[in-house]
Amino acid sequence: GEGVGGSPSLLTEEQLIELDVHLQTNLYLSAKVVAHWVEETYGVSYTESGMTAVLHRLGYVYKKP
Q: Identify the pLDDT of residue 29.
A: 86
Residue 41 has pLDDT above 70, yes or no: yes
Can you give the residue range of the structural domain that contains 49? Answer: 13-58
> 2 in a domain, yes or no?
no
How many structural domains is the chain composed of? Answer: 1
Q: Identify the pLDDT of residue 5.
A: 54
> 65 in a domain, yes or no?
no
Residue 19 has pLDDT above 80, yes or no: yes
Tell me the CB-side half-sphere exposure of residue 55, using CA atoms within 13 A. 23
DSSP per-residue string spanning 1-65: ---TTSPPP---HHHHHHHHHHHHHS--S-HHHHHHHHHHHHS----HHHHHHHHHHHT--PPP-
| Whole-angstrom distance, CA of residue 2 vs CA of residue 7 | 7
> 23 in a domain, yes or no?
yes
Return the higher-pLDDT residue of 58 and 3. 58
Rounded to two decimals, what is the model's pTM?
0.76
Q: Identify the pLDDT of residue 10.
A: 87
